[in-house]
Amino acid sequence: MQKRKLGNLEVSAIGFGCMGLSYAYGPATDKGEAVSMIRSAVELGVTFFDTAEVYGPYTNEELVGEALAPFRDRVVIATKFGFDLGPIRGLNSRPEHIKQVAEASLKRLRTDRIDLLYQHRVDPNVPIEDVAGAVSDLIREGKVKHFGLSEAGAKTIRRAHAVQPVAAVQSEYSLWTRDPEADVLPVCEELGIGFVPWSPLGQGFLTGTIDAATPLDGTSDMRATFPRFKPEARKANQVVVEFLNAFAKRKKTTPAQIALAWLLVQKPWIVPIPGTRKLERLKENLGACEVELAPGELREIDNAFSRITVQGTRLPEVHMNLIDR
C-alpha cells in the first residue's frame, strides 16, 4: 500500500470510512462481520480509519475500538466532535464539551490517544480560535496527536491553522461533487494541509450499482432523504454512470476504481476514505492505487463532467445549513 501525508501524519493512500458499518446506509452490519471487515482492511495495508461519536451514535467508535485494538500501533484512528447528542440535538463545540467528548471517545476506542481529531461541523456560536485552542490543550496533554476540520470554509481553515496547525480537512469530494476545488483545496495546498474526501464514490452512486429502481430504506438509509437520490434525480444522473461504465470498460477496470484513481491524481496529499461492507469491494477500492490515468484521459473525464449537470443537491437543506461556506 502506498503512503501519503496529511500535514505531518503519514497514512495509507486510501483509508477506510467506517460509518456505513454501523449507520446511515441501512441496518447495522453484524458486529462480527464488521470487525472482520476492518481487520481485513488492516491486513490489506490500510492504516487510516475514520469514525465519529455521532455514528450510531457511539456504536461505530466502539466497533472501531474493538476491531483495531490488536493493531493499535500499526494504524491511525480519526474521530470527530461537534454535536450535542443530548435531548436537544445541535452543534456544540464549546471547549469544555470538546474535552468531554475526547475523553469519552478515548474509552470507546480503547486507546490512550486519538491520532486525528476533527471538528465535525463548524459551530457558528463558538469562535474557531477557541476550538483550535481546546484541541491544542488536548495535544499538549498527549490525548490527541493532530487536529482536523470537516466541511470548513477557507477563512475558517486559515483562522484555525493560525492557532493550532491543521493536519487535514475532510469534506465531500468526488467526480460529481466538486465544491472544494474553488477555495478549500487551494488553501490546503498553501498551508500544507492534507485533504480527506468523504463519500469519494458518491454514496455508492459512482460505482454503477445504483439506479432509479434501487430500493432505499427510508428508516435506515440516509440516502432516501438526499435530493440526488430521489428516483427522478437518479434517473437523470444515470448519464454519470454511463460515462464511467464506458470509460472503465476501455481501461479494463471498474467505475469505482476510476473515481478513486481520479481523486488520487488530483493532489499527492489527498486521501479518500471509501467505506464498504463487502471484502471484494474493499479489494476493488484498494486496487485504485494501481490505476494510472494519463493526461489525455484526465482531460476526457473533465470534459465529460463539464457537460453534465448533476441533478439534486448533495445533501438535504437541513444538512447543507450546517456547512461552513
Closest CA to 266 of 160, 153, 188, 149: 188
Which amino acid, one-letter code, is at 323?
I
Q: Distance of alpha carbon 283 from its chain centroid, rounded?
A: 18
Tell me how far apart the terminal alpha carbons of the chain are, to the nearest angstrom.
Answer: 34
The three-point CA angle 111-65-263 to 5° equals 105
Q: Which three cell numbers stand for residue 304?
A: 465529460
Q: Which three cell numbers stand for residue 107?
A: 474509552
Strand segments (E) across 130-215: 144-150, 166-172, 194-198
Q: Which three cell numbers stand for residue 204?
A: 455508492
Catalytic residue among 55, 58, 118, 173: 55
Cα-based distances in Å from 111 to 70, 73, 167, 246? 11, 10, 20, 45
Instruction: Tell the residue number behind the cell numbers 464539551, with chain if given.
Output: 97
Residues 161, 16: Cα–Cα separation, whole Å: 25
Instruction: Tell the residue number behind the cell numbers 482536523, with chain if given.
Output: 148
Closest CA to 241 of 299, 202, 294: 202
Catalytic site residue 55?
yes
Residues 244, 29: Cα–Cα separation, whole Å: 29
Residues 119, 80: Cα–Cα separation, whole Å: 6
Catalytic site residues? 55
